[in-house]
C-alpha cells in the first residue's frame, strides 16, 4: 500500500512538472509570436512608406516610356494572406 502511495505522489509531481513546462513553453511561444507580428507590421509600414516615396519621386521625374517601380510591383501584394 505504501508503495502505491509513493507511486501516486511521484506521478502527481511529474504531472505538475509537465503542466508547468507546458505553461512556460506556451507563454514563450505567445511572446515570440507577438514580437513577430509587431515586426511584420513595422516592415509592412516601412514598405508602404518607401513605395509612397518612390511614387512621389516618379511624379517629379517624368520620362516617356519608362517602366516604373510601382508598375513592376503592382502584381505583388504585400498584404497578409487570409
Q: CA 48 to CA 9: how far, in whole Å?
A: 59
Q: Identify whether 78 is part of a domain.
A: no
> Which residues are CB-neighbours of 78 under 8 A, at least 6 positions away?
44, 47, 48
Q: How many domains does the chain have?
A: 1
Q: Is residue 81 assigned to a domain? A: no
Specify if 48 maps to a domain.
yes
User: Which pLDDT belongs to residue 65?
Assistant: 59
**What local confidence, expressed as pLDDT, does residue 66 receive?**
60
Per-residue pLDDT reduced to its tens digit, 14-62? 999 999 999 999 999 999 999 999 999 999 999 999 999 988 888 887 6
- Whether the predicted pLDDT of 76 surpasses 60: no
Q: Is residue 38 part of a domain?
A: yes
Flag whether 82 is in a domain: no
* Domain-embedded: residue 80: no
Amino acid at each position: 500500500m505504501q508503495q502505491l502511495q509513493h507511486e501516486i505522489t511521484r506521478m502527481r509531481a511529474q504531472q505538475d512538472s509537465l503542466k508547468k513546462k507546458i505553461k512556460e513553453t506556451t507563454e514563450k511561444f505567445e511572446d515570440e509570436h507577438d514580437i513577430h507580428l509587431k515586426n511584420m507590421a513595422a516592415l509592412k509600414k516601412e514598405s508602404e512608406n518607401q513605395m509612397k516615396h518612390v511614387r512621389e519621386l516618379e511624379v517629379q521625374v517624368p520620362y516617356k516610356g519608362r517602366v516604373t517601380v510601382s508598375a513592376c510591383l503592382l502584381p505583388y501584394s504585400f498584404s497578409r494572406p487570409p
